[in-house]
Amino acid sequence: STLRASFDGPVKPLQQMVWIQQHVAPGRFTVSASSMAGSSVLSWFRGVCFEDGQEDAAAYRQLESLASAVPAGSEGLLFHPYLFGERSPFYNPEARGAFLGIR
């Protein structure tokens, strides 16, 4: 997956693993950062939480419903989605995923 933001002028990256490109609009620039996992994390989580026979669309709707019931900040639960290493905002092919703050 990729995250992009647009700016009115050139920017200096805070991290080395972002890309800066000229925007299609004159005078604007785009900063991009990519993750190795993206939607594959959601697919993995779906496989862990639901039976194989359950329809994908129904499983994802249920995941969305469950997630929307959790308060902002997830009561301190944090997930590092590094299932395949990571390349942005840092490059580390050995990075691994983790749930932090489980009570």
pTM of the prediction? 0.63
Q: How far, CA to CA in Å, does 59 sit from each of 6, 50, 68, 70, 96?
A: 34, 7, 14, 17, 25
Number of domains in the chain: 2
Statement to judge: residues 93 and 48 lie in one domain: yes
What pLDDT is recorded for position 32?
83
What pLDDT is recorded for position 15?
59
Statement to judge: residues 87 and 51 lie in one domain: yes
Chain mean pLDDT for the chain: 85
What pLDDT is recorded for position 14?
64
In DSSP terms, 31 is beta-bridged to: 5, 20
Statement to judge: residues 54 and 18 lie in one domain: no
What pLDDT is recorded for position 101?
93
pLDDT band for 9, please (50, 70, 90 cuts): confident
Statement to judge: residues 26 and 58 lie in one domain: no
Statement to judge: residues 48 and 84 lie in one domain: yes
Statement to judge: residues 59 and 76 lie in one domain: yes
Statement to judge: residues 49 and 87 lie in one domain: yes
Q: Taking residues 26-43, what's their average pLDDT?
A: 85
With vertex at residue 13, the alpha carbon angle to CA 19 and CA 81, rounded to the nearest 5 degrees, is 65
